[in-house]
Amino acid sequence: MELTKHGHACVVLHEEGRRLVIDPGAFTEPAALDHADAVLITHEHVDHFEPDRLRAALDADPALEVWTNTSVAARLEGLGGRVHVVGHGDAVSVAGFDVHVHGELHAEIHPDIPRIGNVGFLVDGQVFHPGDALTVPDEPVATLLLPVHAPWSRTADVIDYLRAVHADQAFAVHDGLLNDPGLGAVARLLGEGGPGTPTPYGRLAPGDSVEL
């Protein structure tokens, strides 16, 4: 399986000619959806879900389908059976990928801000994208897509999450608001300059790929 970073929270998984796109939001170039076989959306925030752009991709390819939670599906009305609602504990086949769904709620931003729905996706038992939550799946994770910076997180929380998941490796996502010094600071704290985790951490620049 090939993993390609496409900006901020979006990645594309490619295997045997199949392309699975996760969270192609407004901070991601529209080309990330080109030739997609299926799309997974973790939640409704614009940096993960850009409805007009996704509708355009669906209009351009009548075979394209979406798997997501209830709130996102409600914003894609009129697409019938091409939009599939999933929730915590579901196991589905998506474009030939086995997808297990973990989590229910977005991380708390502030006690006065209501929490919205958020689902994480574990693909083929290998790659876990948690969306905007620090969900720990109840099954092993080989590659964790680690949200390294958000209004709802502290680096201390990210370190503890990396320890709790105990993946074989982790790659940064949700990093679109960090400048180069910020990216470097996070990398140090998640690596040799921090308190330590069991998981090697790396970052792919937008457009970069890695074989898993």
Supply the CATH number for residue 108's domain. Answer: 3.60.15.10
Q: Is the pLDDT of residue 92 over 90?
A: yes
pTM: 0.97
Q: Is residue 165 part of a domain?
A: yes
* Residue listed under structure tokens 């390819």: 61
Say what the pLDDT of residue 80 is. Answer: 86
Q: What is the pLDDT of residue 91?
A: 98
8 occurs within a structural domain:
yes
The domain total for the chain is 1
Q: Which domain holds residue 33?
A: 2-204
Residue 139 reports pLDDT greater than 90: yes
Query: Is residue 210 in a domain?
Result: no
Residue 209 counted as domain residue: no
According to the model, what pLDDT value does residue 116 have?
98
**pLDDT value at residue 126:** 98
Which residues, listed in sequence order, are joined to residue 4 by a DSSP beta bridge? Answer: 12, 209
Q: CA dist 211 to 2, 131, 162, Å?
A: 5, 22, 21
In a domain, 211, yes or no: no
Q: What is the mean pLDDT of the chain?
A: 97
- 63 falls within a domain: yes
Residue 179 lies in a domain: yes
Angle between the N-to-C axes of helices 155-165 and 180-190, in degrees from 0 to 180, rounded to the nearest 10: 40
Is 93 domain-assigned? yes
